[in-house]
């Protein structure tokens, strides 16, 4: 081999070695070019996130500087932009800076309105602060503003309200209190306290305006003043009610005395007319205070109601030409008795008396009796009128206890009775009255629903009370036993035989004798 060939081969070998070495260091040429042209996605994402973090950090720092330099609008803008970047690790710091900003601005605005509050320009100051509170919608700002201005604001508002109240500008005082800015700046606790104090001041001021009419006993004029104050807006419904309570309290003793004087006098009719007119004008309800639907402040005082009713009852006794008895007489209601109102014998009944109810007659006509459920004792006729319950038919009152009597004929139908309901059978059994014609009574036997005609005088009240003697099957038929228990409406009763045995017996199997039952009429 020539020297030239040897040199050429060496050059080729050197070049090949260099290529191989380069390949070992960098990898295949094709792969290296591909990697350089297209960087991996992970590296790209990290860079973007880092940029957002750095941007957020920069805005927070700039906002902090702006707060220190009192560029509050810039600071709020920068914090808003940082917040939108949503870097979780910056959230707390942004919140801290916002709180710092809110407190700084609250102090700025508190100082700004301080002079207005000192000069009693409350409405202007409250409007300005309320606007700022609404724009920021920040509890920190609102709380800080209230804390910084509360003493000044409360003093300003109180002075303003007193000034308006003294001037009689009550509706203006309420408008000032009702303004949104007033409540927003003062806070609920202070606002409620001032509201209560203001309403109290207004009540006293308006009550002072009623004083002359009340002293002169011009009750209607005083009530007119209350109505006018309500129409003007000086009095709310609550204040008007409070004022009317005072008018009624002043009028009640006078009206009570007038009604009492009228009983037995020639002026009774005129007195009643005047008393009723005043009761209506003052808005009293005639019903008692404990009846449903009657407001307590409108319920007529019991003493006034009693005296007024006694006066009306006296006039009714005069109309009916009632002659007072020398002494009230005790009687008992026979059957269910409807009671007409004491002040109107022809009025609709408001209650019934149960049979056997004891009453006292304090006045009477041929057909009607004026009664009371309380023993009037030695009270005279006029005094007894205050106890009057109402008017009842004289024929429904008996001179002895009627609790064990049969009901009157017109109430007898449907009643359960004891009677001799079998031919040639002296024992009595239970049945139900189905028809009454004079003294003749038709009774349907409980045992078999057979109708039997008999007379009223042979019947007894069909009660089954504990301890009552009956005849039933014990050791043998029709032995004496005692009613131990009976539930109204049930068709069986528990009885106790003379030997002590208790058993349930159908009512249809029970018998009795006239001498075992209370006498009836």
Residue-wise pLDDT for 281-301, tens only, equals 999 986 543 444 556 777 899
3-state secondary structure 19-86: HHHHHHHHCCHHHHHHHHHCCCHHHHHHHHHHHHHHHHHHHHHHHHHHHHCCCHHHHHHHHHHHHHHC
State phi, psi for 391 to the nearest 5 degrees. Answer: -105, 140
- Locate 406 and state its tokens: 């049969």
pLDDT of residue 294: 54
- Residues of the chain short of pLDDT 50, as ranges, are 1-44, 288-292
* Region of residue 304 (left: phi > 0; alpha: psi -120 to 50; beta: else): alpha
CB 440 within 8 A of CB 419: no
- The contacts of residue 6 (CB under 8 Å, 6+ apart) are none
Output the CA–CA distances (angstroms, integers) from residue 252 to 272, 282, 324, 469, in the order listed.
Answer: 14, 10, 30, 58
pLDDT of residue 287: 56
39 alpha carbon, distance to own chain's centre: 76
Closest CA to 145 of 96, 116, 104: 104
CB 485 within 8 A of CB 370: no
- Locate 243 and state its tokens: 């004022």
CB 134 within 8 A of CB 143: no
DSSP states along 307-357: HHHHHHHHHHHHHTTPBPPSS-EEEEE-S-EEEEETT-TTSPP-EEEPTT-
pLDDT of residue 11: 40
pLDDT of residue 12: 37
H-type alpha helices, 363-480: 381-384, 409-412
CB atoms within 10 A of CB 310: 22
pLDDT of residue 477: 87
Q: What is the pTM of this model?
A: 0.68
Positive or negative, the Cα torsion across 446, 451, 457, 458? negative
pLDDT of residue 272: 97
Interatomic CA distance for residues 124 and 130, integer angstroms: 10
The terminus-to-terminus CA distance of the chain in angstroms comes to 169
CB 431 within 8 A of CB 419: yes
- The contacts of residue 67 (CB under 8 Å, 6+ apart) are 75, 97, 100, 101, 104
Interatomic CA distance for residues 307 and 275, integer angstroms: 10
* Region of residue 187 (left: phi > 0; alpha: psi -120 to 50; beta: else): left
pLDDT digits (tens, 9 = 90+) for 472-485: 988 888 899 999 99
pLDDT of residue 38: 38
pLDDT of residue 16: 42
Positive or negative, the Cα torsion across 7, 11, 16, 20? positive
Interatomic CA distance for residues 129 and 185, integer angstroms: 7
CB 121 within 8 A of CB 95: no
CB atoms within 10 A of CB 130: 19
pLDDT of residue 421: 96
Interatomic CA distance for residues 331 and 401, integer angstroms: 8
């Amino acid at each position: 081999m020539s020297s030239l060939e040897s040199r050429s081969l060496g050059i080729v070998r050197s070049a090949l070695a260099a290529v191989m070495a380069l390949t070992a260091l960098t990898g295949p040429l094709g792969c290296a070019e591909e990697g350089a042209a297209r960087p991996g996605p992970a590296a790209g994402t990290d860079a973007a996130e880092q940029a957002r973090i750095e941007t957020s950090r920069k805005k927070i720092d700039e906002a902090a500087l702006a707060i220190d330099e009192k560029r509050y609008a810039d600071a709020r803008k920068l914090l808003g932009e940082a917040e939108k970047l949503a870097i979780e690790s910056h959230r707390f710091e942004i919140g801290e800076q916002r709180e710092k900003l809110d407190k700084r601005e609250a102090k700025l605005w508190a100082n700004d309105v301080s002079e207005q509050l000192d000069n009693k320009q409350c409405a202007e100051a409250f409007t300005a602060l309320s606007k700022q509170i609404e724009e920021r919608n920040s509890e920190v700002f609102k709380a800080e503003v209230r804390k910084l201005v509360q003493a000044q604001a409360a003093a300003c508002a109180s002075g303003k309200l007193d000034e308006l109240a003294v001037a009689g500008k009550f509706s203006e005082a309420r408008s000032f209190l009702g303004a949104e800015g007033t409540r927003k700046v003062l806070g609920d606790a202070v606002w409620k306290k001032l509201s209560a104090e203001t309403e109290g001041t207004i009540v006293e001021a308006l009550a002072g305006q009623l004083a002359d009419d009340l002293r002169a006993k011009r009750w209607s004029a005083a009530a007119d003043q209350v109505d006018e104050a309500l129409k003007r807006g000086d009095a709310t419904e609550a204040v008007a009610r409070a004022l009317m309570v005072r008018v009624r309290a002043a009028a009640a003793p006078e009206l009570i005395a007038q009604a009492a004087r009228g009983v037995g006098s020639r002026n009774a009719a005129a007195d009643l007319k005047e008393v009723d007119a005043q009761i209506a004008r003052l808005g009293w309800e005639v019903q008692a205070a404990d009846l449903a639907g009657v407001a307590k402040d409108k319920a007529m005082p019991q003493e006034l109601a009693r005296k007024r009713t006694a006066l009306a009852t006296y006039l009714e006794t005069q109309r009916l030409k009632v002659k007072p008895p020398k002494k009230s007489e005790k009687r008992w209601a026979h059957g269910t008795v409807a009671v007409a109102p004491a002040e109107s014998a022809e009025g609709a009944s408001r209650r019934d008396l149960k049979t056997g109810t004891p009453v006292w007659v304090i006045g009477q006509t041929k057909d009607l009796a004026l009664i009371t459920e309380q023993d009037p004792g030695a009270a005279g006729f006029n005094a007894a009128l205050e106890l009057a319950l109402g008017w009842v038919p004289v024929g429904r009152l008996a001179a002895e206890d009627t609790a064990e009597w049969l009901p009157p004929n017109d109430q007898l139908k449907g009643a359960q009775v004891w009677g001799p309901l079998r031919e040639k059978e002296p024992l009595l059994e239970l049945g139900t009255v189905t028809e009454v014609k004079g003294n003749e009574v038709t009774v349907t036997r409980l045992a078999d629903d057979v109708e039997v005609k008999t007379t009223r005088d042979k019947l007894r009240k069909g009660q089954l009370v504990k301890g009552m003697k009956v005849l039933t099957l014990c050791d043998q038929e029709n032995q004496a036993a005692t009613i131990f228990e009976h539930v109204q409406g049930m068709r069986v009763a528990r009885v106790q035989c003379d030997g002590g045995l208790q058993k349930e017996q159908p009512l249809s199997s029970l018998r009795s004798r006239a001498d075992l039952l209370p006498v009836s009429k």
